Amino acid sequence: MDTTTLRANLNRVQERVAAAAARAGRTADEVTLVAVTKTHPPEVIRALHACGVREIGENRVHEALEKQQALADLADVRWHMVGHVQRRKARHVVGRFALVHSVDSVRLARELDKRAGAAGVDRVDVLLEVNVSGEATKYGFPVTSPEDVGAFLEDVEAILNLPRVRVHGLMTMAPLVADPEEARPHFAALRRLRDRLAREFPQADWRQLSMGMSNDFEVAVEEGATLVRIGTAILGPRNP
């Protein structure tokens, strides 16, 4: 993709984020755009960087680390891990990402804490990924019934007790639907869950809501997203 098209796509997405924020009585600077570059080569990230993008999202640990190495000269990139992290890869994540959006179990959180300790890293900044839609194919703490909520609150308490894992909010992936309005109840549910956690655990930071992708980010911003994760709408279709 040439730089002119890239810039135009970026501007268009930023305008749509700003318009959605305005509809909800919010300002555009309350929403951080994370450009999701999975499957795209390092040069694409370099081009995004030249357009002023600093927040880059990847969904696979190995692929992300390769790109980080290739782009080591871009010191001000903030790398986001947005995909599922296997426990055995936790040690590769520690110290290498500004934010891990996808902590989906207490066991992973414990492993991150332990690996951080071993590596002399004092904190791992994370979001808790929640499955609010009940789709079996989705990662995340399942939170669709009142019983789920009880179990989740216990898990949250365990995670908040880990000294090196710093929680900043929640993340979700809405189901793929033809009409983005169908995603709205899931985003609203994530926001309500966040508000509940903020009441139950006021000692923690619950500010961030990572929700919204190319198909549904405007609805997500209307429902309170502070981080939107966007690939296709900026970069076009992915290489398989």
Applying CB under 6 A, the residues found at the interface with ligand PLP are 36, 38, 59, 82-83, 173, 213-215, 229-233
Token pair belonging to 29: 């600077």
**Residue with Cβ nearer ligand PLP (75 or 136):** 136
Which 8-state DSSP code applies to residue 90? H
Residue sitting closest to ligand PLP (CB): 231
Shortest separation between residue 212's beta carbon and ligand PLP, angstroms? 8
Task: Count Cβ atoms below 10 Å from residue 4 Cβ, excluding itself.
Answer: 8
Shortest separation between residue 19's beta carbon and ligand PLP, angstroms? 18
Long-range contacts at 42-47 (CB < 8 A, ≥ 24 apart):
42/67, 42/70, 42/71, 44/1, 44/235, 45/71, 45/74, 45/77, 46/71, 46/74, 47/1, 47/3, 47/6
**Residue with Cβ nearer ligand PLP (23 or 238):** 238
**Residue with Cβ nearer ligand PLP (59 or 226):** 59
Shortest separation between residue 162's beta carbon and ligand PLP, angstroms? 23
**DSSP codes joined into one string, 13-56:** HHHHHHHHHHHTT--GGG-EEEEE-TTS-HHHHHHHHHTT--EE
Shortest separation between residue 100's beta carbon and ligand PLP, angstroms? 12
**Residue with Cβ nearer ligand PLP (11 or 232):** 232
Shortest separation between residue 115's beta carbon and ligand PLP, angstroms? 22
**Residue with Cβ nearer ligand PLP (26 or 138):** 138
